[in-house]
Amino acid sequence: MKLLGLKINNDILILGIGNIPRFVLLVLYSRLQTYFLDYENLSKFYLAFSIYTFFSFIIIGPIGNYITRNVLEWYKSNNMNTGIALVIYKIIVPIALVALILISLLGTVYDLGYSSFYLALVVSLIIITKTSNELIFPVFNLIDKNIIYLSLIILFHILNPVASILIIKTYEPTFIYWLSGLIISNFIVAIIGWRIIKKLPQNDPIKFNFKELKSFSYFIMLGNVIGWMLTDGFRFIAENQIGLTNTGILILGLISATQIFSNLEVLINQFLIPKYLQKIADSNYELRSKAFNKLFNASIQIYLIVALLAIQFSDIILNIIIDKSKINDMLLLVFVIGIFIELIKVILNILRNISTSEYKTKAIVFPFLIGVIVMLIGFYSNQFNSIILIAFLILTSYMCVIVTSIISFNRIINIKVNFKYILNNLWLIILLNIIIYYLQESNIYLNITYVICSFFISYSVIEDYKKTN
């Protein structure tokens, strides 16, 4: 197919168009959430979700990486449903039960803002439903069943706000009822996805190689738990430093930036990761190194383009994704700082492919440990006691992580940044960004040109990557 004289790859077209309703629904969800929940309940929601992410990092990080690394082999050997089932029944459910006990006990020594048992129950159910869902539906993208993949995602993003709104309208607009909607929507979609997986051909049941999983996952798990302090754990310290409402402003600004990049990362992974995994499967070190550097140079260009766009149009973006009652100058500044943080985070996620492809997951631990140490020193120096200063502290911590990560991972695979290739693609974007910045006044035609150029340059990078692979 051709668009404006440019040949469009059918896979890119399907995934690109299919993701439009997902992005629209995500924006709608964010606006509805910030409309129905006040800053106090938003803060409690984020703190509760931080507890969930602690346990999800134990599961989704290492276990998800293990599944991603092995899913093509499971699919080829007709063992997909057995592999997924063993993960759910023998790993996810037991961890959810552990979470139920630990959160209940935590509530006896820390004010969680709600009945500790009910909060523990809600978080445990989120662990089971959301984690299962997020293990199941990416499988369809990895095995090139993109229609099923996109259908499940869109269905979830429709059900999620509908369920949450119905519950809070029935009861009251609190964070706990909003989370209940998340449980229901994830449960429904996970069941549908699982029933589709069960229809795939199945050989005799396999035994789960827990020894291999343990050796593969241990250091990823350790790195994720340490990294959790940077992504979520700081929220509990921040609440004590600046109060619940200010913490809500801080987290909302950072989360808004996260939404931009997490959704972009999902999209980029849909385009690039399947080809990358196909390249490294049963290949030698030289081919895996080449495949990684192609992935790295392609991904980093798109992320840089989006970062520049997000900063340039930050006020417009916030007015789209957040209810206007929550927007202020402080939130805007935190959002811009959050863009830089998220840019570092997505680059880190690309680098982490080295550890999984080479089965050297120990390399991810030290960089995050350095970042956490820097952040804790900053917090306990009592110098970072405002919304903006805490945001800068988190950014500084991530800068330490990225520097040490590049040094660490470069010892495993020689990371080659093709600066000439990147500049050849991005010079126009950089020039337009500088012109728009110095004009000061908004020019709609220049802004439209900027956005269109960004889109077509990003597309050409993806298309070039898919062709070379």
Q: What is the pLDDT of residues 414-466, one digit of tens each?
A: 888 888 888 888 888 888 888 877 776 667 778 788 888 888 888 888 888 77
Give domain status of residue 214, yes or no: no
Q: Are the C-beta atoms of residues 141 and 149 closer than 8 Å to each other?
A: yes
Question: Could you give the count of Cα atoms lying within 13 Å of 272 in the half-sphere of its Cβ?
Answer: 28
Residue 433, phi then psi, degrees to nearest 5: -65, -40
What is the spatial distance between Cα 447 and Cα 315, in angstroms, rounded to a whole number?
Answer: 14
The pLDDT of residue 3 is 39
Nearest one of 100, 91, 96 to 66, comparing CA atoms: 91
Nearest one of 429, 420, 421 to 457, comparing CA atoms: 429
Interaxial angle between packed helices 244-280 and 234-242, expressed in degrees from 0 to 180 and rounded to the nearest 10: 160
Q: Are the C-beta atoms of residues 288 and 357 closer than 8 Å to each other?
A: yes
Q: Are residue 94 and residue 154 in the same domain, yes or no?
A: yes
Give domain status of residue 52, yes or no: yes
Q: Are residue 14 and residue 150 in the same domain, yes or no?
A: yes
What is the spatial distance between Cα 121 and Cα 377, in angstroms, rounded to a whole number?
Answer: 34
Q: Are the C-beta atoms of residues 173 and 41 closer than 8 Å to each other?
A: yes
Q: Are residue 191 and residue 241 in the same domain, yes or no?
A: no
Q: Are residue 93 and residue 15 in the same domain, yes or no?
A: yes
Give domain status of residue 213, yes or no: no
Q: Are residue 163 and residue 271 in the same domain, yes or no?
A: no
What is the spatial distance between Cα 71 and Cα 65, in angstroms, rounded to a whole number?
Answer: 10
Question: Could you give the count of Cα atoms lying within 13 Å of 265 in the half-sphere of its Cβ?
Answer: 16
- Residue 435 CA: distances (Å) to CA of 429, 441, 468: 10, 11, 33
Q: Are residue 197 and residue 234 in the same domain, yes or no?
A: no
* Tens-digit pLDDT string for the chain (469 aa): 443 344 445 555 566 666 677 778 888 888 899 899 988 888 888 888 888 888 887 766 666 666 666 666 666 666 677 777 777 888 888 889 998 998 888 777 666 656 778 888 999 999 999 988 888 877 787 676 778 888 888 899 999 999 999 999 999 998 989 999 999 999 999 999 888 888 877 766 556 666 666 666 677 777 778 888 888 888 888 888 888 888 888 999 999 998 888 878 877 777 787 777 777 766 677 888 888 888 888 889 999 999 998 998 888 899 988 888 888 889 999 999 999 999 999 999 888 877 766 667 677 788 889 999 999 999 888 788 889 999 999 999 999 999 999 988 888 888 888 888 888 888 888 888 888 777 766 677 787 888 888 888 888 888 887 776 6
Residue 36, phi then psi, degrees to nearest 5: -80, -30
Give domain status of residue 216, yes or no: no
Give domain status of residue 215, yes or no: no
Neighbours of 170 (CB within 10 A): 8
Give domain status of residue 58, yes or no: yes
Q: Are residue 160 and residue 260 in the same domain, yes or no?
A: no
Give domain status of residue 179, yes or no: yes
The pLDDT of residue 345 is 92
Q: Are residue 283 and residue 431 in the same domain, yes or no?
A: yes
What is the spatial distance between Cα 113 and Cα 41, in angstroms, rounded to a whole number?
Answer: 9
Q: What is the pTM of this model?
A: 0.78
| Domain count of the fold of the chain | 2
Tell which of 162, 181, 208 closes a domain: 208
- Name the residue range of residue 43's domain: 1-208
Give domain status of residue 383, yes or no: yes
Tell which of 183, 208, 233 closes a domain: 208
Q: Are residue 237 and residue 204 in the same domain, yes or no?
A: no
Q: Are residue 200 and residue 231 in the same domain, yes or no?
A: no
Residue 3, phi then psi, degrees to nearest 5: -130, 115
The two three-digit tokens of residue 381, written as one number? 């120096």
The two three-digit tokens of residue 300, written as one number? 């980093």
The two three-digit tokens of residue 55, written as one number? 């346990």
Q: Are residue 163 and residue 239 in the same domain, yes or no?
A: no
Q: Are the C-beta atoms of residues 347 and 290 closer than 8 Å to each other?
A: no
Q: Are residue 142 and residue 29 in the same domain, yes or no?
A: yes
Tell which of 159, 179, 208 closes a domain: 208
* Dihedral, CA of residue 256, residue 257, residue 259 and residue 263, to nearest 10: 160
The pLDDT of residue 81 is 73
The pLDDT of residue 84 is 78
Nearest one of 234, 232, 244, 224 to 112, comparing CA atoms: 244
What is the spatial distance between Cα 135 and Cα 221, in angstroms, rounded to a whole number?
Answer: 16
Q: Are the C-beta atoms of residues 342 and 391 closer than 8 Å to each other?
A: no
The pLDDT of residue 125 is 94
